[in-house]
Structure 1
Amino acid sequence: MSKLTIALDIMGGDHGPPVILPAAVKAIQLHPDVHFTLCGDEDTIKAGTQPLTDSERNRVTIVHCSQVVEMGEAPTSALRNKKDSSMRRVIELVESGEADACVSAGNTGALLTLSFYLLKTLSGIDRPALINMMPTTGHHNVFLLDLGANVNCTPEILFQYGVMGSVLAQEVAGIESPRVALLNVGEEDIKGNAQVKSADQLFKDAPGINYIGYVEGDDIFTDHADVVVTDGFTGNVALKSSEGLAKLVINEVKRQSQKNFYTRLLAKIAFPLLKSIYNSVNPDQYNGASLIGLRGIVIKSHGNAQKDAFYYAIVQAMKEAKMHLPEKIKTKIETVLLEQL
């Protein structure tokens, strides 16, 4: 790839430009081989990119957008009435090939709808899925999907998720034969609803997928599987619950370490260990869910992401663009998925 270009929705998210622009500036400064297209209010973007040098500014294109998709706006309204929004523009840049990937922290429903409408899905994929990495007790992260794109999933869609997740684990994590599992209320064959049981059989019959069966919720973090597949309702609850628990652990460690002189002294001695633990569970570094299954790369950042978290989402977009991820998913689908369905 001779020139890598990432399009950023500067206006999206709970905090908007005050958080996203510093993250964009950080990405521009740390990745001199990447070009960036910043979409949003032109005056706001110019003011927020003042820290850039002239050479850094030469790698930045500003696209003025007169509209913003609000966080509580209905997806259909964003599709019909916000044709000059920063969110729509970054997706259009991917569609036209002017950008290799895009990142937005905006309204999830609107981003899904616009991406589905403008980019379309790959052949053999019914619905795109939101997928992200989560930490485990082992040496690898686990990929969990779907995280909220589709709350109701047929067995065929769950199977498609497993194929796509397997490709992402291979390309991003370098796992030769990713272990794919279905999230269930138990590991026994008799457990689960009809959709999960039917999907289980599809996986068992599929060539080229390292399917290991069912896992329960507590297995997500034990390095039992590399890819865990579930519907968007369950996946979103699991994601938000784990993030809340991680924040609870981090805040409780901070609080306990400041209780008195002795705990402050112990915390200072244990600082390297505490920092290592913090880095391993900090949700910020796992920000950036991939909307996979589309004919282009779309990364969804948390709406409440701060600067560092949004920066990690940008890095994820760059990784997937360099790997040509949609093309590799398409190849896998043609060799595995289309033969099965």
Structure 2
Amino acid sequence: MKIGLDIMGGDYAPKATVLGAIEARKSLSPDQTLVLIGDEGVAKEILQQSNVSADLFEFVHTTEVIGMGEHPTKAIVQKPNASISVGFKMLKEGQIAAFASAGNTGAMLVGGMFSVKTIPGVVRPAMTTIVPKLKGGLGILLDVGANADCKPDNLLQFGVLGSLLAESVYGIENPRVALMNIGEEEEKGNMLYQATYPVMKDTNMFNFVGNIEGRDLFGDQFDIAVCDGFTGNVILKLAESFYVITLKKGLKDEFFDRFNYEQYGGSPILGLNAPVVVGHGISSPEAIKNMVLLSKNMVESNLIDKIKQAFH
């Protein structure tokens, strides 16, 4: 198995990405290879400084980068030699089994849809995040930013995608899917959520348990919370601030420690024809390591094949 890592993506790249690759390598088996896509000379310099042999990795050299502020579609088209573009070309051609980057999120979405494309039947890919539960364990929230505007059939599909991720990668049996709303009652919400509830209630594609509210997000009433990408991104950014606030206030708490994005590595883009993971722009080496290991888990669990079967 070969996993592609964009070492040019992220605010602290390439140092943080290469150091993360070194840590990830320790958890990979001999038949699993990490392919570093980016400036080979700089990468080898960082490896040398860390007393790590370059022979442990494969390299694909490119110095071009898609910046965080660039227009995703234009950048993918106009920069075929950028590390993200090269990574997706390799993924499309089967040279790598998964691709991960902490670079431009929009470029990762567009690149994925242009290259490996969406799985037939999936209307829109979705991005996910992990939500820690108060009593232990985790939940999955999606979409968290890929689709600001949605229709009921999008949210229905997000429920299917989230269920398969929960079962395959996180080992949650018969996961409970809830609709993130402004009230528990069936008729609550805006037009989108009012229209989505009966569609989810009537489906046999997943285990629907009704509406949940924002205050239920860290409780145990659900395993997957479904919402549009606008709502999900607001929730995600708010939740991320909890950990930062506890650090600033000097509070040490096991539950809030689990809000540290570094533990989860990144967000899988579900619905593409290959495993793709997007990391946080501020990813540290620890986050990069976990992003690589999440990519590996997505390959090993045959998640993509399971999604294809579900949408067949």
**Alignment TM-score, normalising by the size of structure 2:** 0.95
C-alpha contact (below 8 Å) 2:129/2:236 kept by paired residues: no
AA matched with 2:110? T
Matched, 1:289 2:267: yes
Name the counterpart of 1:42: 40
Give per-residue Cα distances to partners, 1:75-123, cap 9 Å, x unaligned. 1221221100101111222211111111101111111111111111111
Name the counterpart of 2:166: 169
Change (3 A) 1:53 1:284: closer
Q: State the secondary structure of the residue aligned to 1:131.
A: strand
Give per-residue Cα distances to partners, 1:151-198, cap 9 Å, x unaligned. 001111111100000000111221110000111111112211121122
Q: State the secondary structure of the residue aligned to 2:69.
A: coil
Name the counterpart of 1:259: none
Distance 1:166 1:114 in 2: 25
Name the counterpart of 2:117: 120
AA matched with 1:189? E
Distance 2:228 2:165 in 1: 18
Name the counterpart of 2:294: 316
C-alpha deviation, 1:5, in angstroms: 1.1
Matched, 1:107 2:100: no
Change (3 A) 1:181 1:277: closer
Larger helix fraction of residues: 1
AA matched with 2:302? H
Q: State the secondary structure of the residue aligned to 2:311.
A: helix
C-alpha deviation, 1:124, in angstroms: 0.9
Matched, 1:233 2:230: yes
RMSD of the TM alignment (CA)?
1.5
AA matched with 1:40? G
Distance 2:109 2:171 in 1: 27
C-alpha deviation, 1:332, in angstroms: 2.0
Give per-residue Cα distances to partners, 1:191-236, cap 9 Å, x unaligned. 1112112221111111141000111111111122100000111101
Distance 2:307 2:125 in 1: 12
Distance 2:303 2:270 in 1: 9
Matched, 1:332 2:287: no
Name the counterpart of 1:300: 278
C-alpha deviation, 1:251, in angstroms: 2.9
C-alpha deviation, 1:297, in angstroms: 0.7
User: Pairwise mapping of residues 46-125 of structure 1 onto structure 2 (< 5 A)?
Assistant: 46-50=44-48, 51=50, 53-54=52-53, 57-125=54-122
C-alpha deviation, 1:277, in angstroms: 4.3
C-alpha deviation, 1:278, in angstroms: 5.6
Of 212-221 and 30-39, the range deviating more from structure 2: 30-39
Structure 1 residues without counterparts, runs of 5 or longer: 255-273, 335-341
**Alignment TM-score, normalising by the size of structure 1:** 0.87
Distance 2:13 2:210 in 1: 42
C-alpha contact (below 8 Å) 1:135/1:280 kept by paired residues: yes
Name the counterpart of 1:203: 200
Distance 2:282 2:88 in 1: 21
AA matched with 1:281? F
C-alpha contact (below 8 Å) 2:277/2:291 kept by paired residues: yes
Change (3 A) 1:178 1:277: closer
Distance 1:42 1:309 in 2: 21
AA matched with 2:88? I
C-alpha deviation, 1:139, in angstroms: 3.1
AA matched with 1:41? D
Larger Rg: 1
C-alpha deviation, 1:249, in angstroms: 1.7
Q: State the secondary structure of the residue aligned to 2:291.
A: helix
Q: State the secondary structure of the residue aligned to 1:224.
A: coil
C-alpha deviation, 1:24, in angstroms: 0.7
C-alpha contact (below 8 Å) 1:129/1:293 kept by paired residues: yes
C-alpha deviation, 1:59, in angstroms: 4.0
AA matched with 2:64? Q
Q: State the secondary structure of the residue aligned to 1:119.
A: coil
